[in-house]
């Protein structure tokens, strides 16, 4: 019986963070990176094409607002789960990202330990 893999799309403008997230995800048998984007505008086009199960987003982008990106993804693709991966304070921003439609929140400095677990948690 073939195992179904979960597609994860990463929207991150910092190359090192995108690389680290991809490396963590690709180590897992049940997850794979189905696409990546460095910008708000490119993300919406690519998400429509690759149909991910989970999208990892940040709160800030050079060309747009992460809250708006979360809102647009949930409006257009309500079945997609959204996980915020950011350097910005959880104490200040967590409630706002959940209100926008995100299902999880991970600080970038905790990603090594918590990213894969957080992906699995938002899928449940």
pLDDT of residue 34: 97
State how far the Cα of 92 lies from the Cα of 53, in Å rounded to an integer.
27
Q: Which fold has domain 6-123?
A: Rossmann fold (3.40.50)
Placement of tokens 């915020």 in the chain: 84
Q: Is the pLDDT of residue 3 over 70?
A: no
pLDDT of residue 111: 76
* C-beta atoms surrounding 116 within 10 Å: 18
State how far the Cα of 87 lies from the Cα of 106, in Å rounded to an integer.
9
State how far the Cα of 51 lies from the Cα of 63, in Å rounded to an integer.
22
pTM of the model: 0.92
Q: Using one digit for the tens of pLDDT, what is the confidence trace for 56-94?
A: 999 888 888 899 999 999 999 999 999 999 888 777 788
The rounded Cα 58 to chain-centroid distance in angstroms is 7
pLDDT of residue 2: 59
């Amino acid at each position: 019986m073939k195992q179904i893999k979960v597609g994860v799309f990463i929207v991150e403008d910092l190359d090192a963070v995108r690389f680290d997230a991809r490396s963590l995800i690709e180590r897992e048998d049940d997850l794979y990176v189905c696409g990546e984007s460095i910008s708000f505008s490119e993300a919406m086009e690519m998400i429509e094409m690759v149909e991910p199960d989970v999208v990892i987003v940040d709160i800030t982008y050079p060309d747009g607002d992460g809250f708006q990106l979360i809102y647009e993804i949930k409006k257009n693709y309500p079945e997609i789960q959204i996980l915020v991966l950011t350097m910005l304070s959880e104490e200040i921003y967590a409630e706002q990202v959940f209100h926008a439609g995100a299902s999880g929140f991970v600080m970038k400095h905790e990603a090594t330990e918590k990213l894969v677990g957080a992906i699995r948690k938002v899928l449940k």
